[in-house]
């Protein structure tokens, strides 16, 4: 493990090389699925840039003052900016223009403690046009010794003018075994818990780490899978009533669609006779029962329908309509 980052070895090696040969770029964009390690990598990079030890970043994070302050998000030369979540019914995450302007203003000043200024802006897709435009000018003419690190799920969600000015690093999901051993060795998970979380995580270590101490999240997953079980044989009117409830809570809605997509992919694999391990192995009886009633093509259509609903929601389409379309598309089957 380099820089205290689990996995993503090539990204760490590339960034370390940039520092070593004095080719650190003014702007970086780290992309990849949520909770995959983008922010962790950005913080490690900031430490490597500002660490006071010879062998930066120091092995024990509290070895030097810079690393300690960066990890506590209190370093005067490292600014961290994340979207502000608001809204009662539908949560929206926004990066406003004011925090971006403030960041640019600070970037024009000399660093206070070190040689460089670093900004880490998380989930930059949450920035509106005006905020992105404001940052663009700084990316075009960066003040000396300043480094801006943006993270986003996908470069496609950002203005091309922003993307083209950044050195891009696309992070991939970690292998299941890597997540599993990190959970048991670094986070002290029991073997069965590490196995289950690693399997469900889809290679997103941060997701698994968040869930390990969150019983309610695993309960919510079980609840959502049970709801899908009752929904599949249900008539249209019941399905629509469910859609109407679900659309009221954006985060539950997103989590439910993720889970459904994953469940249907399991059904598709079984229906196609593939020997891949099921992600939702604890639901294998339900998955096999569903697969017995469908062709692989039916199951693939269900996967595609869930994906289409997710895409509509990402484009901020009407949530109820997107869900109703999905629930009309999903096959009617009974699960014993």
* CA 207-46-178 angle, 5° bins: 35
Q: Which is nearer to Zn ion, 64 or 126 (CB)?
A: 64
Residues 6+ apart with CB under 8 A from 48: 3, 15, 16, 19, 56, 57
Candidates 5, 58, 189, 278: give the one binding Zn ion (CB under 5 A). 58
**Nearest alpha-carbon partner for 326 in 251, 268, 242, 265:** 242
Two structure tokens written together for 185: 């060795």
Stretch binding Zn ion (CB under 5 A), from 15-23, 49-57, 183-191, 290-298: 49-57
Neighbours of 123 (CB within 10 A): 20
Instruction: Supply the minimum distance, in Å, between the C-beta of residue 24 and Zn ion.
Output: 17
DSSP per residue, 259-309: HHHHHHHHHHHHHTT--PPPTTGGGHHHHHHHHHTS-HHHHHHHHHHHHHH
Number of residues that bind Zn ion (CB under 5 A): 6
Instruction: Supply the minimum distance, in Å, between the C-beta of residue 72 and Zn ion.
Output: 13
Stretch binding Zn ion (CB under 5 A), from 47-55, 84-92, 258-266, 284-292: 47-55
Q: Which is nearer to Zn ion, 2 or 34 (CB)?
A: 2
Q: Which is nearer to Zn ion, 58 or 166 (CB)?
A: 58
Q: Which is nearer to Zn ion, 58 or 270 (CB)?
A: 58
Stretch binding Zn ion (CB under 5 A), from 5-13, 59-67, 191-199, 270-278: 59-67
Q: Which is nearer to Zn ion, 67 or 205 (CB)?
A: 67
- Check residue 67 for interaction with Zn ion (CB under 5 A): yes
**Nearest alpha-carbon partner for 290 in 316, 272, 267, 317:** 267
Q: Is 24 exposed, middle or buried (0-12, 13-18, 19+ CB in 10 A)?
A: middle
Q: Which is nearer to Zn ion, 51 or 198 (CB)?
A: 51
Stretch binding Zn ion (CB under 5 A), from 52-60, 130-138, 180-188, 326-334: 52-60
Distance from C-alpha of 53 to C-alpha of 65, rounded to nearest angstrom: 10
- The radius of gyration of the chain from alpha carbons, rounded to an integer in Å, stands at 22
Q: Which is nearer to Zn ion, 58 or 306 (CB)?
A: 58
Instruction: Supply the minimum distance, in Å, between the C-beta of residue 212 and Zn ion.
Output: 27
Q: Among residue numbers 114 through 153, which ones bind Zn ion (CB under 5 A)? A: none
Candidates 15, 29, 48, 64: give the one binding Zn ion (CB under 5 A). 64
Q: Which is nearer to Zn ion, 53 or 157 (CB)?
A: 53
Stretch binding Zn ion (CB under 5 A), from 19-27, 53-61, 116-124, 244-252: 53-61
Instruction: Supply the minimum distance, in Å, between the C-beta of residue 188 and Zn ion.
Output: 25
Strands of the chain (E only): list them.
27-31, 78-81, 84-86, 92-94, 117-121, 146-152, 167-170
Instruction: Supply the minimum distance, in Å, between the C-beta of residue 3 and Zn ion.
Output: 11
Is residue 69 classed as helix, strand or coil in its secondary structure? helix
Instruction: Supply the minimum distance, in Å, between the C-beta of residue 171 and Zn ion.
Output: 23
Distance from C-alpha of 261 to C-alpha of 258, rounded to nearest angstrom: 5
Stretch binding Zn ion (CB under 5 A), from 64-72, 209-217, 273-281, 321-329: 64-72
Query: Phi and psi dihedrals of 66, rounded to 5?
Result: -60, -50
Candidates 35, 44, 48, 51: give the one binding Zn ion (CB under 5 A). 51
Binding site for Zn ion (CB under 5 A): 51, 53, 57-58, 64, 67
């Amino acid at each position: 493990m380099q820089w205290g980052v689990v996995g993503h070895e090539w990204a760490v090696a590339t960034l370390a090389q940039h520092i070593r040969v004095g080719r650190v770029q003014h702007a970086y964009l780290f992309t990849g699925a949520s909770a995959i390690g983008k922010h962790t990598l950005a913080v490690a990079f900031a430490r490597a840039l500002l660490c006071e030890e010879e062998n930066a970043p120091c092995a024990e994070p509290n070895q030097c003052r810079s690393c300690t302050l960066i990890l506590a998000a209190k370093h005067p030369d490292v600014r961290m900016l994340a979207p502000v979540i608001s809204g009662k019914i539908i949560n929206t995450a926004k990066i406003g223009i004011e925090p971006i302007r403030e960041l640019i203003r600070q970037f024009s000043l000399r660093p206070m403690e070190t040689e460089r200024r670093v900004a880490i802006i998380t989930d930059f897709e949450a920035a509106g046009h005006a905020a992105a435009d404001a940052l663009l000018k700084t990316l075009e003419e960066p003040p000396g010794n300043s480094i801006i690190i943006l993270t986003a799920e996908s470069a496609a969600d950002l203005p091309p003018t922003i993307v083209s000015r950044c050195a891009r690093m696309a992070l991939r999901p970690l292998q299941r075994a890597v997540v599993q051993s990190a959970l048991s060795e670094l986070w002290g998970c029991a073997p069965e818990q590490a196995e289950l979380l690693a399997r469900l995580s889809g290679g997103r270590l941060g997701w698994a780490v968040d869930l390990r101490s969150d019983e309610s999240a695993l309960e919510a997953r079980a609840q959502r899978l049970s709801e899908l079980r009752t929904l599949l044989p249900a008539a249209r009117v019941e399905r629509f009533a469910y859609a109407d409830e679900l659309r009221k809570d954006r985060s539950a809605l997103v989590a439910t669609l993720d889970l459904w997509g994953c469940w249907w992919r399991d059904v598709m694999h079984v229906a196609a006779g593939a020997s891949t391990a099921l992600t939702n192995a604890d639901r294998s009886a339900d998955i096999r029962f569903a697969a017995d009633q469908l062709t692989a093509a039916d199951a693939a259509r269900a996967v595609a329908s869930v994906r289409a609903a997710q895409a509509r929601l990402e484009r901020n389409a009407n949530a109820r309509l997107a869900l109703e379309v999905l629930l009309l598309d999903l096959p009617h089957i009974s699960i014993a």
